Amino acid sequence: MNDSWTLTDDDGELLLHTGTAGRAARTGHKLTIAMKKWTAQVSVDDGRPVAVTLTVDVDSLTVLKGEGGIAPWTGAEPGIARSNALKSLEVKKHPTITYVSSGVTRDGDVYAVDGDLTLHGVTRPHPITVNQDGDRFTCESTITQTDFGIKPFSLMMGTVKVADDVRLTISATAPRA
């Protein structure tokens, strides 16, 4: 039986985890960022996902925490980090991020998903692996910013910057049958 699910930020979370780079990398904070508004349309056959389209509202970016660094993470810093991230992503020109699958292969509770990621106006193939545990689906992937024409944010003439690779984690609970 063919069916579909609509999953949103109410059903799970989409997080970005940044690192630091540059000669003074240890002085910078590693950020955990939530994308607070997203929707996934999932085509389902016999209770199993067979296709997915994910749309993320870039302006929903919210900095949850900053860890590490030599200075403490203060109350003003999440807003400053959000502003810097939105500038790097050029949110006014590129307000959404999309992922559209082109094929899904299942092996038990693991799905190999081929698809295209459109980020910062650039579309590139981006295969992902999705794990299923009951009605819970999780995914972890690495996105290299410069592959999508994004210049990682930097300070102090580049001696501290956001690492080019950003780790993405997604978890969501599917509707019960």
CATH number at residue 31: 2.40.128.110
This model's pTM is above 0.85? yes
State which residues form the domain around 122: 2-173
What's residue 158's pLDDT? 54
DSSP strand E in the chain: where?
2-8, 12-17, 20-21, 30-35, 38-45, 48-57, 61-67, 96-107, 110-119, 122-125, 128-133, 136-144, 154-155, 160-162, 165-173
Q: What are the tens digits of pLDDT across the range 2-61? A: 699 999 999 999 999 999 887 877 878 899 999 999 999 999 998 889 999 999 999 999
Q: How many domains does the chain have?
A: 1
Tokens of 113: 């998903």
157 pLDDT above the threshold of 80: no
What's residue 96's pLDDT? 98
Q: How many CA atoms lie within 13 A of 134 on its CB side?
A: 4
